Amino acid sequence: MNISRHEPWDELVSASLTGDLSADERRRLDAHLGGCAECRSTLAAFSDQRRIVAGLRHVPIPRDLGARVRTGIEGGSRVGLPWWRRPAAIFAGVGGGLAVVAGALLAIVLLNGSPDGPVGESSPTPSGSIVAGSPSPVPSAPPPSASPAESASAPSADATPSVAAVTASPEPDVYLALTGPFDNQALTVRHGPTGETIAEIDTPSGPPIAAELSPDGQWLAYITQLGESGLNEVRATRIGEGVPSDDPEALPPVSSPVTVGETVILGQSVGGAPFLEQLAWASNSGYLAFTLADPEANGTDVWLFQPSIAQPRQITNVDNAYAGSWFPSSGGSSFLWVSTAGAVPMSHLLGFHDSGGGDLAPGDPADNPMASAEGVFQPLLNPNGSVAIYWTGRMEQLGAEWAFIEGGQPYLSEHSAGFEFGNDRSLFSDLTVGRDAFTSAAIAWGPDGDAYAVWDARWTGIPQGSDGEYPSVSRVYFGHATDPRGLTESHAIDRDDIPTDAWIVDVKVSPSGEHLVVCAARPRGGVLEAPSADLLLVKRNTGDVPDEVFVLGSADNGWFGPAAFDATSGTDAP
């Protein structure tokens, strides 16, 4: 019997579509496809067949799955144990190292020692302030003398920041997964503790790089890369119906014309510094704030997505604006910190009706804000709004976006009920900042309002530290606001936690305050290889005890992550 010279390659082509090739086989196939038109036709035919079969196998997601998952999250229960915590799992020998630990009531120590350099200053809160871009007045911000109950559980102006008791839980509430061969990938949202699919999403042209879950559990906002274009796309997918709270003062779930499983495209943006990848949900889930860098207009502006109308709306038109974070909702209004980049950055607090009504016309955030802070850029509040991490330094526009070019560094500060930043200190306590400084870094708070993570730290000039590689773009620095030392070189998680050939895409801090969920991407072996990333659960240990690392999703099987937590699950913030 005659055997076609292409038959061995047909077997490799078929195996490539199911991810069963070794690295050596993948390299051989890529080289062969480059010079063989017949085998390229075979690959195209096999791919078409898989698409047809995949279409026949599709099973609709139960409409109440998101609600059932949300009920389990809010009730403190789990729909089964994650595989790595079952007795038969590979990590069963850990001996309960990831058992859920009891929460503790924490109190943040005074942030002693004012730093040398710019600190935030707030202007007086005007009375009868106007919602940005809207003729309708909103209630004035609560005065500094208001009690915590009267000011959305925020601390009084002379109070020290506080952190609420938490129920520790290391697993993410949800995570994204991009799986399948390079030409037929499926993007799904999965329940973190069980891996159960919550929603299937129209496949984007690239992997997800950031994600945030709305506090009511109805929506997942995320950012995907658009192939090799250098652009990102911001999306929001409705993943649940929402579960009414037992709290008589809580707002009902936000209604939306979008059904469970549907996705709304919110806009495209130039990919760049971490400042562009911040997705901020209001505490009542009524708004999502995000930043778009327009490659044609050559500038950045802030947008809001309102689930109640399922539409994105531009709220600034100054070409140098960035979304910061929300103060916990109070009195029928939500307050958002919006920053403007420049030689001296500024931040302005804007108010919005929680009803979501009225037109939001783009405008200048400096026009009649609720409060302003000079020298403060992109403040990120912890979930109860009592502590902030913000940036300061001199900025310059580089293409469509902005970056720090001199004196750039993050600060940790109190954030009072009067919307003031005070008692500031450098976030990194062992770095000497001058002409050598940060251009940017990614930062995330944990739901407990105390733990935070810093990664993708981009440093100019000569590195510092004991090994001459500090701060490093490839390390994750994990700290707590209650730690008077701030961040130091010793706060980096172990080098062995992340695969040596991987780079960090996203980091989330769990409500336990001692676990990180890291999305770490792997290099692609060729144009016909799908993107891949590990999703790792890291339990941070101190001293000479190595960190414990568990694989929630393996890069051998696809791209897993980013993960997302309910930002209010570890706090008593409203």
Domain 65-564 has CATH 2.130.10.10: yes
**Edge-to-edge strands, sheet with 451-459:** 438-445, 451-459, 477-480
Tokens of 256: 């939306």
CB atoms < 10 A from the CB of 467, how many? 9
Supply the pTM of this predicted model. 0.72
Give 70's DSSP letter.
H
CA-wise closest residue to 271 among 314, 328, 209, 333: 209
E strand spans, 83-194: 106-107, 162-163, 174-179, 186-191
User: CB neighbours of 564 closer than 8 A, spacing ≥ 6?
Assistant: 172, 173, 174, 175, 211, 212, 213, 220, 508
Tokens of 55: 């279409």
According to the model, what pLDDT value does residue 31 have? 66
Say how far apart CA 521 and CA 501 lie, in whole Å: 9
Say how far apart CA 389 and CA 377 lie, in whole Å: 9
Say how far apart CA 362 and CA 279 lie, in whole Å: 19
How would you write 116-136 as a 3-class SS string? Answer: CCCCCCECCCCCCCECCCCCC
Tell how strand 299-306 and strand 311-314 pair up.
antiparallel
According to the model, what pLDDT value does residue 8 have? 62
CA-wise closest residue to 564 among 185, 108, 69: 69
User: CB neighbours of 20 closer than 8 A, spacing ≥ 6?
Assistant: none
Tokens of 344: 């001296």
Give 41's DSSP letter.
H
Tokens of 45: 């035919």
Q: With H, G, I as helix, E, B as strand and everything else as coil, classify residue 307.
A: coil
Contact between 259 and 240 (Cβ < 8 Å):
no
CA-wise closest residue to 252 among 354, 358, 138, 149: 354
User: CB neighbours of 186 closer than 8 A, spacing ≥ 6?
Assistant: 54, 178, 179, 180, 200, 203
Q: Note the residue count of the chain.
A: 574
E strand spans, 10-116: 106-107
Say how far apart CA 122 and CA 371 lie, in whole Å: 6
| Chain Cα centroid distance, residue 12 | 38
Give the torsion through C-alpha atoms of 215, 216, 217, 219, to 10 deg: -90
Tokens of 38: 């017949």
CB atoms < 10 A from the CB of 52, how many? 9
According to the model, what pLDDT value does residue 568 have? 62
Q: With H, G, I as helix, E, B as strand and everything else as coil, classify residue 516.
A: strand
According to the model, what pLDDT value does residue 427 have? 97
According to the model, what pLDDT value does residue 146 have? 27
Say how far apart CA 120 and CA 420 lie, in whole Å: 7
User: CB neighbours of 365 closer than 8 A, spacing ≥ 6?
Assistant: 132, 302, 316, 318, 321, 338, 340, 348, 350
According to the model, what pLDDT value does residue 24 have? 63
Contact between 396 and 403 (Cβ < 8 Å):
yes
Per-run averaged pLDDT (10 residues), the chain, 574 residues: 48 69 67 68 61 37 46 43 35 30 30 33 28 28 28 32 50 95 92 91 88 95 91 94 54 71 94 93 94 90 94 95 92 91 97 71 93 97 95 94 95 90 94 92 96 96 88 95 93 94 96 94 87 96 91 95 81 39
Sign of CA dihedral 415, 170, 495, 21: negative
Q: Which residue has the tokens 């708070």?
A: 445
Say how far apart CA 82 and CA 504 lie, in whole Å: 23
What are the DSSP calls for 328-389, one per residue?
Answer: EEETTEEEEEEEE-SSS-EEEEEEEETT--S----B-TTSS-SEEEET-EEEEE-TTSSEEE
183: Cα within 13 Å, side-chain hemisphere: 16
Contact between 390 and 405 (Cβ < 8 Å):
no
Q: With H, G, I as helix, E, B as strand and everything else as coil, classify residue 262.
A: coil
Sign of CA dihedral 99, 103, 109, 115: positive
Q: With H, G, I as helix, E, B as strand and everything else as coil, classify residue 180.
A: coil
Q: With H, G, I as helix, E, B as strand and everything else as coil, classify residue 108.
A: coil
According to the model, what pLDDT value does residue 466 have? 85
Say how far apart CA 344 and CA 331 lie, in whole Å: 33
Say how far apart CA 123 and CA 118 lie, in whole Å: 15
Q: Is residue 479 within a helix (H) or strand (E), and if so which, with residue range?
A: strand 477-480
Query: Burial letters for 136-162: b for 16+ Cβ neighbours within 10 Å, e otherwise?
Result: eebeebbebebebeebbbbbbbeeebb
Q: How far is CA 526 from CA 33, 35, 178, in A?
A: 12, 15, 17
Say how far apart CA 168 and CA 457 lie, in whole Å: 28
